[in-house]
C-alpha cells in the first residue's frame, strides 16, 4: 500500500502540487469567507448551499478558518487536523507526505482475531500515539491480533472518551498529528497487529459542532437521539459527510477495519440505508486486503451480518454481543439493577444460551423495556459475535468505574476470562484486563463553564437511587484527577500478581490460536449446544466439521461433576479433574469427530 489521499466532498483537498480546493456546505449562510495565512478571501457559491475556492501556493500545515457574515469564525467541519483545540484553526494537510514502511501488509483473517480495546489517552502515561507505539512489542507478545482504538475524531478539550467528537476527519490533536496516528498503525502492522477504529456516525458532541449554524438542514429537528438532534442521512451533502468518513479512515490511514458505534441510533429513511451503502462501498473499493467491520446495536439483529455461500462477508463482519457481557455480569456479581434485570433470573442459562446460540434475547420480551428484543441468531456462525466480559462502556458507565476483577474477585474473573478466550466467538479484551488491572476506568471529559456544570450534575443525578451509591460520591468527570485515575498502571505486569495474570493470558491466547482458531475456518451456524446448567455452573459444546469443542465452568459454591466431554483436555484451571470445584474451568477438544 502506497501513500494515498481520499478526496472528500467537504474540506481542503489538494487538487494539484500546491493547489488546494476549499469546499463547505453552508445552506444557513449567504456569504462565507476563507481566512488563510492571515488573509481573507470570499468563497464562491456553487449551488445547493455549497461554497468553494481554489487557491495555489498553499503549503502543508497552513492554518485556515471559515468566517461567516456575522464575523463568527469556525473551523472546517471536514478538517484533517486542528492546530490545537476543536474551536481553533484547521490545518491544510497533504496526506501523501507520510512514507509507509509496511507496504506489503494485507491484514489478518477474521477467524484469528483477538481484539484489544484501547483508549489512547489512558493507555500510557503520556497518552499519545507515539507513546502507544512503544507498547506494541508487548501487545504482539501477549498474543492479541487486533487493536481496537476508541474514537479519535477531534473533540472538545484534551480529555474524553472520544464519543463526543465533532470534527469527524481529524485525529484528536492531544494524541498527536495525523502522521503520528499513521505511524502507530504502520508500526502495528510491522508487529503483525491489525488496527481498527471505533467510529461514531450517530451524533456530534455538545461543544465545537458548528454544523447547525452552517447548515441547519444537516439535522432532522423532529428526530432525536439520546445525544441530540438526529442527522439527516437522506440529505445529500450530510450523507456524503457521513458515508465518506469510513472510507477516508480506511484508505488514508490504512486501517484494517472499523467498529460502528450505536448503529441503532442511525435512523435513515433513504431507499438504501446509509450503513448498507457504507459497507457496500467499502467492499467494492477496498478489495486488496482484509477489512473487518463490526457494529454495536442494542436491537440484537442479524440482517447486517449475512454470509455469502462461500463464507465471505458482503456487509458487516460481526456484532458486539452485549448479551454475553450482561449475562456474565449478573452471573458473576449478582447485580440486577437497570438493564441487568433482563438477566436476573437464572443467569447461568442466559450465559449458556449466548455461548451456544449468540444472543440471549431472540425475540423474547425484555423485562427492562417491556418490549420484544432480538431475532433468532442460532443460524449465525460463532465468529459473527464479538464477546467481552468487560469493555470501556460497561466499566466506565458505573459510577466508580470498577472493573470486573474488583466486583467479582480475581478467582472468579480468571475463570470467566478463560471462558471468553476459549469460546469460538471472537473475544475482546479491555486494556489491562490481561494482567488483572484494578485501576478504574471512569467517565471523564474536559468541558468548562455551564457545560461542565451540566455534565457534572447530570452524571451525579444518573446514579441517584442506585444501590451503594450517593450522588456526591460520583467522581467529577471534568476533574483531571478522574482522568489520571483511569490510566493503566504499567508497574503491575512486572509484579508477582500481575505477572502471573499476564503469563496465564499469554498461555490461553497461544492455546486459542493452536486449538480453537483451526475449528473456525468452516464453522457455520447451529453449531452450539447447551449441555447442562446449574446455579453457578455452565457447560456448553460446539460441533464443527473439524471437531467438537467443550467448555464447563463453575463459579458456584457447590462442587459440580464434570459432564461427559469428548476428546482431550486442552486447558484446565486450576487443574483437570473429574469434578469442578468453585472457580474452575475445563476445556476439551475432540478433533474430527463432528457428526
Give catalytic residue positions. Answer: 261, 296
**Radius of gyration, alpha carbons of the chain:** 25
Cβ burial of 382 (10 Å; 0-12, 13-18, 19+) is buried
Q: Where are the alpha helices (DSSP H) in 253-306?
A: 274-285
Q: Which helix (H) or strand (E) holds 120?
A: helix 120-123
For residue 299, the Cα-to-chain-centroid distance in whole angstroms is 17
568: phi then psi, degrees, rounded to nearest 5? -105, 150
Q: How far apart are CA 506 and CA 78, in angstroms?
A: 41
CA distances from 49 to 28, 80, 215 (A): 8, 22, 8
Q: How far apart are CA 130 and CA 176, in angstroms?
A: 8
- Please provide the DSSP assignment of 462-477 as one string: HTTT-TT--GGGSPPT
353: phi then psi, degrees, rounded to nearest 5? -65, -40
Q: Is the dihedral of CA 407, 410, 415, 416 positive or negative?
A: positive
Q: Is the dihedral of CA 67, 69, 70, 76 positive or negative?
A: negative
Answer whether 302's CB lies under 8 Å from 380's CB: yes
- Cell for 376? 433468532
DSSP class of residue 150 equals P
C-alpha closest to that of 39 among 65, 10, 75 = 65
- Cell for 330? 449478573
- Cell for 458? 447530570
- Cell for 552? 464447563
CA atoms within 13 Å, Cβ hemisphere of 446 = 20
Degrees to nearest 5, angle at CA 383 with 381 and 384? 70
Decide: helix, strand or coil at residue 50. strand
Answer whether 534's CB lies under 8 Å from 560's CB: yes
Decide: helix, strand or coil at residue 333. helix
Amino acid at each position: 500500500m502506497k501513500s494515498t489521499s481520499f478526496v472528500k466532498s467537504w474540506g481542503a483537498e489538494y487538487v494539484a502540487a500546491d493547489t488546494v480546493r476549499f469546499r463547505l456546505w453552508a445552506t444557513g449562510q449567504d456569504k462565507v469567507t476563507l481566512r488563510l495565512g492571515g488573509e481573507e478571501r470570499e468563497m464562491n457559491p456553487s449551488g445547493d448551499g455549497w461554497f468553494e475556492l481554489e487557491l495555489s501556493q498553499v503549503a502543508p500545515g497552513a492554518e485556515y478558518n471559515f468566517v461567516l457574515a456575522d464575523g463568527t469564525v469556525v473551523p472546517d467541519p471536514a478538517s484533517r487536523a486542528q492546530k490545537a483545540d476543536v474551536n481553533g484553526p484547521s490545518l491544510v494537510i497533504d496526506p501523501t507526505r507520510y512514507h509507509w514502511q509496511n507496504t506489503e501488509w494485507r491484514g489478518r483473517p477474521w477467524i484469528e482475531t483477538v481484539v484489544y480495546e484501547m483508549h489512547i489517552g489512558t493507555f500510557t502515561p503520556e497518552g499519545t500515539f507515539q507513546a502507544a507505539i512503544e507498547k506494541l512489542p508487548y501487545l504482539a507478545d501477549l498474543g492479541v491480533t487486533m487493536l481496537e482504538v476508541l474514537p479519535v475524531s477531534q473533540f472538545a478539550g484534551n480529555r474524553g472518551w472520544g464519543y463526543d467528537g465533532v470534527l469527524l476527519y481529524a485525529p484528536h490533536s492531544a494524541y498527536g498529528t495525523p502522521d503520528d496516528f499513521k505511524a502507530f498503525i504502520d508500526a502495528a502492522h510491522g508487529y503483525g497487529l491489525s488496527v481498527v477504529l471505533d467510529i461514531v456516525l450517530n451524533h456530534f458532541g455538545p461543544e465545537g459542532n458548528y454544523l447547525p449554524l452552517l447548515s441547519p438542514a444537516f439535522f432532522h429537528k423532529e428526530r432525536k437521539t439520546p445525544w441530540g438532534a438526529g442527522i439527516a442521512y437522506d440529505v445529500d451533502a450530510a450523507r456524503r459527510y457521513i458515508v465518506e468518513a469510513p472510507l477516508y479512515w480506511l484508505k488514508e490511514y490504512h486501517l484494517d477495519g472499523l467498529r460502528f458505534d450505536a448503529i441503532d441510533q442511525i435512523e435513515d429513511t433513504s431507499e438504501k440505508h446509509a450503513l448498507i451503502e457504507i459497507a457496500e462501498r467499502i467492499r467494492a473499493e477496498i478489495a486488496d486486503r482484509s477489512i473487518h467491520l463490526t457494529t454495536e446495536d442494542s436491537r440484537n439483529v442479524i440482517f447486517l451480518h449475512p454470509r455469502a455461500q462461500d463464507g465471505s462477508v458482503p456487509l458487516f463482519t460481526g456484532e458486539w454481543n452485549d448479551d454475553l457481557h450482561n449475562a456474565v455480569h449478573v452471573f458473576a456479581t449478582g447485580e440486577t439493577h437497570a438493564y441487568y434485570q433482563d438477566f436476573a433470573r437464572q443467569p447461568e442459562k442466559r450465559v449458556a444460551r449466548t455461548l451456544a446460540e449468540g444472543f440471549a434475547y431472540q425475540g423474547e420480551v425484555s423485562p427492562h423495556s417491556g418490549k420484544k428484543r432480538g431475532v433468532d441468531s442460532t443460524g449465525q456462525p460463532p465468529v459473527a459475535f464479538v464477546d467481552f466480559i468487560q469493555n470501556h462502556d460497561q466499566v466506565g458507565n458505573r459510577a466508580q468505574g470498577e472493573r470486573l476483577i474488583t466486583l467479582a474477585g480475581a478467582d472468579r474473573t480468571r475463570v470467566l476470562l478463560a471462558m471468553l478466550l476459549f469460546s469460538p466467538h471472537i473475544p475482546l479484551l479491555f486494556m489491562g484486563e490481561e494482567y488483572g488491572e484494578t485501576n478504574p476506568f471512569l467517565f471523564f471529559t474536559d468541558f468548562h463553564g455551564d457545560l461542565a456544570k451540566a455534565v457534572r450534575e447530570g452524571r451525579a443525578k444518573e446514579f441517584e437511587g442506585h444501590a451503594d451509591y450517593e450522588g456526591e460520591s460520583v467522581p467529577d468527570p471534568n476533574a483531571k484527577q478522574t482522568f489520571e485515575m483511569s490510566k493503566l498502571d504499567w508497574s503491575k505486569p512486572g509484579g508477582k500478581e500481575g505477572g502471573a495474570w499476564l503469563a496465564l493470558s499469554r498461555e490461553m491466547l497461544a492455546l486459542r490460536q493452536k486449538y480453537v482458531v483451526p475449528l473456525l475456518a468452516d464453522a457455520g451456524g447451529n453449531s452450539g449446544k447447551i449441555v447442562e446448567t446449574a446455579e453457578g455452573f455452565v457447560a456448553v459444546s460446539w460441533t464443527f466439521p473439524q471437531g467438537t469443542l467443550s467448555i464447563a465452568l463453575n463459579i458456584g459454591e457447590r462442587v459440580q461433576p464434570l459432564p461427559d466431554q469428548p476428546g482431550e483436555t486442552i486447558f484446565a484451571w486450576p487443574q483437570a479433574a473429574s469434578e469442578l470445584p468453585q472457580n474452575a474451568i475445563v476445556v476439551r477438544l475432540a478433533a474430527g469427530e463432528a457428526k
